[in-house]
Homo-oligomer: A and B are copies of this chain.
Amino acid sequence: MRSHYCGELDSSLIDQEVRLCGWVHRRRDHGGVIFVDLRDRGGLVQVVFDPDDAAMFASAEQVRNEFVLAVQGRVRRRPEGTENPSMATGEVEVLATRLTVLNSADTPPFQLDDYHADVSEEIRLRYRYVDLRRPEMQERLRTRSRITQSLRNFLDEHGFLDIETPILTKSTPEGARDYLVPSRVHPGEFYALPQSPQLFKQLLMMSGMDRYYQVARCFRDEDLRADRQPEFTQLDIETSFLDEDALTGMMEEMIRRLFKQVLDVDLPQPFPRMSYAEAMRRFGSDRPDLRVPLELVDVADLMGEVEFKVFAGPAQDPAGRVVALRLPGGGELTRKEIDEYTQFVGIYGAKGLAYIKVNAWSEKGREGLQSPILKFLPDSAVDGIMQRTGAEDGDLIFFGADTATVVNESIGALRVRLGRDRGLMQEGWQPLWVVDFPMFERDSHTGRWVALHHPFTAPKEDQLAQLEADPGRVESRAYDLVLNGTEVGGGSIRIHREDVQRRIFRLLQITDEQANDRFGFLLDALKYGCPPHGGIAFGLDRLVMLMTGSGSIRDVMAFPKTQTASCLLTDAPSAVDEIQLKELALRIRLRA
């Protein structure tokens, strides 16, 4: 039915007969002639209907936006002066010789030929099949497909086997809420949808598969934030007999090739590496955006003795932190802007945002500074701050002083926000491996140790002896891949010895009985010849968002759900028959 995609036509095809299929993007009548911009996956081309052929012209007069047409015609150069340089096919047009209206269309709920970004997302999701016709959405899904293809090809070439793991499975231990599926054959029992294939991929290594991958659907029944979906996709990978350097090296190569193939971008080789401790110290985050040239500078040692409690308290507290963040040229910030930033850090729990404006330090010294807190700071502290931050005239220095967690989160976020607001963000792509993570952190509510990654992550071999004595100091063999401040992948070398796995469970206050009940099959499997193994998972949706410059995960999925986990197109979830409930041995619990 078709010889070319619309967007493929150019002057090399002049005088050729072509057959096109597509949608009416726009129709104009001009000087007794009808012009139709015909649209398909490949783009747009102008088709001209001449009144010479009366029947065809009459038919062309009937078509409206979004009608589906098959057109036959001859490619010709557009008359001088009517070329459209903003269209890829703008040098040519097709003089129609035959028109078949394949389908008509009601007036669409929003116009595609003159799309305004203010069409509500609700309408876009309800009429997703119209929204997805927009060139922008087409391009996103096409890029997504190319990304998956590039990743799969790399893994196929490197001996990875694509193996499917179950969707109907047992509750997995990622810690979020599971989606459950009632069993009809086993009344009162439930499957869980996997939060990740973690245990299955480890079992595949114990099965001798050596190298595994899967583009895996994962599920979390969480209260949805802007960038979350009930189901999401990860590129899931596991290998045997590779250490962290070999594995991360191979993954780097894969990501470098991906960026080259899809975006024609050269990422650095190798990717830089940074310890968790350094990332937290310099950027207040374990996924620092290295495009922002601002850093946190510790000044607690300068503040221990100052009269200003807000600084002195955290400075003296082992769990506290006091930092300075120099903003070059920040002296021009208005009072209003500073107030906004103060509100912004409040979101992260900061109780205020102290600052010093450096008006004329070079000439006037202390007199050249301007700050409500200056009066609390002795010369030694001021000198120290100025020296460490390297502040110059015209700069502004922000301060964070609170628990380390609050300081890291608030000043870390402020750092990125300032980078964006102040045009300091560097162009391009900044990948980073973050390594040397702690194994555990204390839950702030219960005081218990919890795994920073997951309980199957191996501790560093040489620290194994200190596991019980000083859990807070033991580092894991985990690694995260961060790209422009977004975590796009994370993984670890796993525990391959049963005794170590049991020690970790005990440290996490999982009793032997609980461990046997939930993870008995894993503990069993570890006893029957488990190879050293490790892997990684990449958040595919996240990666596609970054690579397509999309603002929302919903823009890189064909049929996403809303923030209340509804599908506006199909109206899922929905009520079911009483008969179905009975078969599943379930009753709806009426709420008060």
List residues of A whose CB falls within 8 A of some B CB: 1-2, 21, 23, 39-41, 66-68, 70, 102-106, 108-109, 127-133, 138, 141-142, 144-145, 148-149, 152-153, 156, 161-171, 177-193, 199-200, 203-204, 206-210, 217, 219, 221, 230-231, 233, 240-243, 246, 496-497, 520-521, 524-525, 527-532, 557-559, 561, 564-567, 569-576, 580-589, 591
Contact = CB atoms under 8 A, between A and B. Distances in A.
Contacts of A241: 1-2, 21, 70
A587 B589 contact: yes
Copies in the complex: 2
A574 B141 contact: no
A335 B305 CA distance: 108
A588 B181 contact: no
Given A187-B591, A564-B185, A204 B573 contact: no
Contacts of A104: 529
A66 B130 contact: no
A41, A128, A573, A584: residue with the most chain B Cβ atoms closer than 10 Å: A573
Contacts of A39: 208
Contacts of A571: 170, 520-521
B103 A529 contact: yes
A180 B576 contact: yes
16 contacts: A1-B242, A67-B529, A105-B527, A108-B528, A128-B207, A164-B558, A168-B230, A168-B231, A171-B574, A177-B184, A190-B575, A200-B558, A217-B217, A521-B571, A585-B589, A585-B591
A217 B558 contact: no
Contacts of A524: 127
Contact of A233 (B66, B164, B207, B209): B164
A292 B13 CA distance: 52
A160 to B, nearest CB: 8
Contacts of A171: 574, 576
Contact of A521 (B103, B169, B570): B570
B184 A182 contact: no
Nearest to A520: B571
B528 A207 contact: no
A30 to B, nearest CB: 23
A321 to B, nearest CB: 37
A587 to B, nearest CB: 4
B530 A103 contact: yes
B168 A528 contact: no
Contacts of A200: 558-559
Contacts of A166: 231, 559, 561, 567, 572
A50 to B, nearest CB: 24
B527 A219 contact: no
A127 B206 CA distance: 11
Given A129-B528, A529-B103, A565 B185 contact: yes
B243 A1 contact: yes
Given A127-B524, A582-B589, 17 more contacts: A21-B241, A41-B208, A68-B530, A68-B531, A103-B496, A104-B529, A105-B528, A129-B203, A130-B528, A164-B557, A165-B559, A170-B571, A179-B181, A180-B182, A185-B565, A191-B573, A203-B569
A490 B580 CA distance: 29
A129 B561 CA distance: 36
Contact of A532 (B41, B102, B169, B206): B102
B209 A138 contact: yes
A561 B168 contact: yes
A517 B178 CA distance: 29
A217 B164 contact: yes
B161 A142 contact: yes
Nearest to A67: B529
A141 B170 contact: no
A207 B129 contact: yes
Nearest to A149: B156
B106 A528 contact: yes
A296 B152 CA distance: 48
Contacts of A530: 68, 103
Nearest to A566: B186
A524 B532 CA distance: 55
A68 to B, nearest CB: 5
A565 B231 contact: no
A21 B109 CA distance: 61
B132 A145 contact: no
A109 B1 CA distance: 60
Contacts of A153: 153
Given A167-B167, A188-B575, A565-B183, A207 B588 contact: no
Contacts of A497: 103
A529 B129 CA distance: 10
A389 B348 CA distance: 87
Contacts of A130: 207, 528
7 smallest A-B Cβ distances: which pairs?
A: A132-B207, A105-B529, A66-B529, A189-B573, A170-B572, A183-B573, A129-B206
A432 B557 CA distance: 37
Given A167-B217, A584-B180, A189 B574 contact: yes
Contacts of A178: 580
Contacts of A496: 102-103
